[in-house]
Structure 1
Amino acid sequence: MKAILLGGIAALQTYFIVYLIIDLVKHREQLSITAHKREYVWGAVIGGITSGLDTIGIGSFAPHTFLMNVTRTNDDKKLPGTLNVSHCISVLIEAFIFISVVTVAPLTIFSLIISSIVGSWIGSRTISTFSERKVQLIMGIALLLTSVLMILRQQGFLDILGKGNEAMSLTGGKLIIGIVGNFVFGALMTVGVGLFAPCMAMIYLLGISPIVAYPIMMGSCAGLMPVACVEFIKADHYDRVHSFSAILGGIVGVLVAARFVTGLDVSSLTWIIILIIIYTGIVYIYKGTHRSSPREAESHI
């Protein structure tokens, strides 16, 4: 079962990588290192930092959004696509680690992953049609929602939900709830709401053992992101220079975080990032609800 699941995820990732390479080659005139030296450097740095944060359990989308704003490398209309494309490959690496070591009932993990993929496909096709102002507002709300979920997890409320859970699979009505929930979370992933925390809360509430949550979450992200990313690429809804450099930096970030960040005070770092996320969310809501020009709005960051 694991071999089939990992093979399916790898096939989706290969599909994404091939599509990405074709698109980059097709638009190679936009990828000049000389003309975009600053964007390449910041993309690699931001990708490395945020993928490292994701590896140690903090998340990547929200801090990535903040850092792009700080470094003035953001294109808000293309932000959802840029975030997904930038972290697609690094999430694959994380998924292979967790799925390889934890056994989950085939029907449960396959159905939840497939539903998240369908949700991301619909979500990515929808978000690509939105105006920049609407994307800004959605991102602001998504960031504030993310901060709330991170606070709940930081305070241990999500862990409490899973305490005493022993089930390794979902059946009947619980399986249907899980499928519908992961469909929604897959769609929300394409607008910047990370799947991990809400998916974890749902799985715990359905009685699943905490150890099973991680392969489901990682597998869902690794499966849905390639599908969503291809849709973003088709719609020209991502920043090519930033995404390409962030992918390279992200691979390094995952490997470094997995090997060398064992002594880091993750709790204190998480609280700092939560404050940053709240601030960034407020800024995006301001930009999405005020009629100032994009440059004027950016001056508030």
Structure 2
Amino acid sequence: MLNLVRGLLLVFTVFFATVFGKDLVKAKKEGTLENDNVVKASFIGLITDFFDTLGIGSFAPTVALSKALKLNIPDKNIPGTLNVAHTIPVIIEALIFTTVIKVDSLTLITMVGASVVGSYIGAGVISRMEEKKIQLIMGIALAITAILMLLGHPKINLMPIGGDAIGLTGIKLVLGVIGNFILGALMTAGVGLYAPCMALVYFLGMSPAVAFPIMMTSCAMLMPVASTKFIKEQAYAKKVSLCIAVFGSIGVLLAAYWVKSMPMELLKALVIVVIAYTSVTMLKAVYKANKVSEEVK
């Protein structure tokens, strides 16, 4: 069953790479390829996808570094650039982690499938919800999760939660599927799947390592389709996306080697840091949004 997942990922890779490659060749022939800074874009790809492989996420860091290094990507092209640029690195992440980390096939396929279905079916409902409220709830929930996980870390061991299972059965599997369905839907509201998926996996008693193939395969199944749409609409920065995709893939390979050889205690500490970081980011975004609203009034 895992080979079926990997096969689908390879099909998506070929499909996406063909569409992306044809568009780049066409742009070069027509002379419409942007004159962006290749070195800066390559550096951004290497750094952001290295940390994406650790579970930090790549979208927000890419936007921050692009603005800091003055790549000057038009705002209307930012969503498309983020998706197109990081699609191949994320697929590589999924292929690596479904190979090097043991995960139950049924658990992986059902949870990944639930996130994909959630991103489509749930989009209509979630997109109408106020993003600020969603971020506030998720930010608080992740903060509590990070604290509980810290207390449950083997070095502290004040609250024995989590586990070492590589799969779910019975009611836990049902909860995992429902949870990832909701997380897939929340992606349409701008809430990243990585940290919440880590928390979900941990509280259902699975090893934190199992979160990596689940969360990365979930995103890898979604991004090629969305990215292809952005390419057809010409709503992305072509040269920047190519540089990030190439050097981001190198960043993934470097980080994946580090993660797979990391002791479990250190990996658990990394997961706690990722969840805490995501919580702070969400709560900070809510605070800024409230501040702007007050200034407008």
On whether the aligned pair clears a TM of 0.5, the verdict is yes
Q: Does 1:157 find its partner at 2:157? A: no
Kindly indicate whether residue 80 of structure 2 is the aligned counterpart of residue 88 of structure 1.
no
- Quick one: which amino acid aligns to residue 54 of structure 1? D
Which residue number corresponds to residue 8 of structure 2? 8
Residue 206 (structure 1) aligned to one of 204, 207, 226: 204
Checking the alignment, whether the CA contact within 8 Å between 1:81 and 1:232 is kept in structure 2 is yes
In 2, Cα distance between equivalents of 1:201 and 1:279: 17
CA distance in 1, matches of 2:224, 2:161: 33
Identical aligned residues as a percent = 39
SS of equivalent residue, structure 1 residue 65? helix
1:157 counterpart letter in structure 2: M
Match of 2:222 among 221, 224, 236: 224
Q: Distance in 2 between matches of 1:237 and 1:125?
A: 22
Closer, same or farther: CA 259–199 of 1 in aligned 2, 3 Å = closer
Kindly indicate whether residue 19 of structure 2 is the aligned counterpart of residue 19 of structure 1.
yes
User: Residues 162, 210 of structure 1: CA spacing in aligned structure 2 closer, same or farther, 3 A cutoff?
Assistant: farther
Measured after TM superposition, the shift of residue 65 of structure 1 is: 1.9
Give the partner amino acid of 1:12. F
Please give the alpha-carbon distance, in whole angstroms, between the structure 2 residues aligned to 1:104 and 1:260.
19
Q: Displacement of 1:198 after TM fit? A: 0.6
Offset of residue 90 of structure 1: 1.3
Q: Secondary structure at the match of 2:205?
A: coil
Structure 1 residues 104 and 229, CA gap change in structure 2 (3 angstroms): same
Match among 69, 72, 82 for residue 67 of structure 2 = 69
Amino acid at match of 2:213: P
Distance in 1, matches of 2:291 and 2:73, equals 13
**Residue 26 of structure 1: CA displacement?**
3.9
Distance 1:234 1:175, change over 3 A: farther
Q: Quick one: distance in 2 between partners of 1:142 and 1:248?
A: 34
Q: Which runs of 5+ in 2 are unaligned?
A: 153-158, 263-268
Q: Deviations over 1:187-228 (max 9, x none)?
A: 444554321111121223333343432221222122222233
The verdict on how the C-alpha distance between 1:70 and 1:18 changes in structure 2, with shifts beyond 3 A counting, is same
Q: 1:37 to 1:217 in 2, by over 3 A?
A: closer
How far did residue 110 of structure 1 move? 0.9
Contact 1:116-1:182 within 8 A present in 2 as well: yes
Rounded Cα–Cα distance in structure 2 between residues aligned with 1:18 and 1:250: 18
Where in structure 1 are there 5+ consecutive unaligned residues?
293-301
Distance in 1 (CA, whole Å) between partners of 2:222 and 2:150 is: 23
In 1, distance between residues paired with 2:252 and 2:283? Answer: 26
Q: Does the 8 Å contact 2:115/2:182 carry over to 1?
A: yes
CA shift for structure 1 position 25: 3.3
Structure 1 equivalent of residue 48 of structure 2: 50
Q: Read off the aligned partner of 1:212 and give its amino acid letter.
A: V
The 1:224/1:43 distance shift into structure 2, 3 A limit, reads same
Deviates more, 1:144-153 or 1:51-60: 144-153
Which residue is 1:193 aligned to? Answer: 191
Q: Given residue 20 of structure 1, which amino acid in structure 2 is its aligned partner?
A: F
Q: Post-superposition shift, 1:253?
A: 2.2
- TM-score, length basis structure 1: 0.70
